Amino acid sequence: MPKLELDTIPQTNATGYPAPFGEAVRGRWYRRLAPAAGLEDFGVSHVVLRPGAWSSQRHWHEGEDEFVAILSGEAVLVDDTGETTMRAGDCAAFPKNDGNGHVLQNRSDADCVFVAVGRPAQSRCHYPDIDMVLTPGEGYRVGGKPA
């Protein structure tokens, strides 16, 4: 059946961020829908941000577009232009290589649920607030040093 039974798809809060940067995403619980559903053309994550959790460290990708749609709850989108509250039904797009780091922060006292669409990262990802760069195949560098 095409409808996804979300409860049957594994959910994790795993992160590869070096300490202490993983702390912010400890309440980010996500499911990788594409492999579970047999999709290959793009990736889709179903994400539950518990109160206080961030979607990521603020970041932008050199080579991959991203898109999010909020399904329930609310979160604050932080980017170079400021802070914008996102609520159920709101959508946001993050074109590749625009140099505008973005993050969703759940500052509410209820879960925020969203879907995020993208492709597997094959380019560098920049985290300007913490001077971190992720290079595929090489790993994270913080302040220019391997982390």
Shortest distance (Å) from residue 41 CB to a copy of itself: 4
Provide the token pair at 99: 């140099």
Q: Which of 142, 58, 54 is nearest to 105 (CA)?
A: 54
Shortest distance (Å) from residue 106 CB to a copy of itself: 16
Phi, psi torsion values for 140, nearest 5 degrees? -85, 145
Shortest distance (Å) from residue 67 CB to a copy of itself: 5
Run of H or E residues at 106: none
Contact residues: a copy of itself, CB under 8 A? 1-4, 6, 33-34, 37-42, 44, 46, 64-65, 67, 69, 71-72, 77, 79, 81-82, 84, 86, 88-96, 98, 100, 102, 113, 115, 117-119
* Of 66 and 133, CB closest to a copy of itself: 66
